[in-house]
Copies of this chain bind each other. A is one copy, B any other.
Amino acid sequence: MGTAAGTPRARILETAGRLFYERGYHAVGIDTIVAESGVAKMTLYRHFPSKDALVVAYLERVNGQIEALFDAAVQGIDSPAEQLRAICAAVARLASTPQCLGCAFQMSALEFPGRDHPANQAALAHKRAVRGRLLALAQQARLRDPEQLADQLSLLIDGAWAAARVFGPHSPAASMPAAADLLIAAQQP
């Protein structure tokens, strides 16, 4: 059970994140998180005022990890078009991993349908940010219709996450980079 290392807040966030990702937000109770992280319940509620706040904190952490994934993917690549390809390839690679169970933000958008729920807003903000990053690269690459390409690559990426969830590691996501290459190439002036 209790991973003995790290500050309690980190242990809580890590355990909660793992359980949320594996079982879903509603299916994981506070008591389970407390038991698995080897922490007192009051400690959890001192660091996170509610379960919703814990979910949001988890989503923020995931957002940072996705950004880091993209950063790492474009590391050392100069051409913006190549960076777009690298990002799509990185997503496809991760989506074909057994550990990948889909996208935490798709989960949060589904499990918290209310548009005013913080977890739902976090999902929207994340997806907007991802599309914004694709759009910026498409613009830098001087492609013909950056908005459209950002849309299309967004669809492929979200399709890859969704496919990973449903199909597991052997999913259509493997064919995603080829599609991305084609869509990018088609927009070269």
Inter-chain contacts of A167 with B (CB < 8 A): 124, 127-128
Q: Is A15 an interface residue (CB 8 A)?
A: no
- Bound-state CA distance A18–B107 (Å) is 19
How many chain copies?
4
For the complex of A and B, the 7 pairs showing the least CB-CB separation, nearest first, are A155-B159, A159-B159, A151-B172, A151-B175, A158-B162, A152-B179, A158-B159
On whether the beta carbons of A110 and B159 are closer than 8 Å, the reply is: no
Inter-chain contacts of A155 with B (CB < 8 A): 155-156, 159-160, 163, 172-173, 175-176, 179
Interface residues in chain A, defined as those with a beta carbon under 8 Å from any beta carbon in chain B: 22-24, 26-27, 101-103, 105-107, 109-111, 113, 115, 123-124, 127-128, 131, 147-148, 150-152, 154-163, 165-168, 172-176, 178-179, 182-183, 186
Inter-chain contacts of A157 with B (CB < 8 A): 159
Inter-chain contacts of A111 with B (CB < 8 A): 24, 26-27, 110-111
Inter-chain contacts of A147 with B (CB < 8 A): 175
On whether the beta carbons of A131 and B162 are closer than 8 Å, the reply is: no
- Bound-state CA distance A178–B186 (Å) is 11
On whether the beta carbons of B152 and A109 are closer than 8 Å, the reply is: no
- Bound-state CA distance A113–B183 (Å) is 33
Q: State which of B24, B115, B150 has its C-beta within 8 Å of the C-beta of A172.
A: B150
Residue of B nearest to A176 (CB): B155
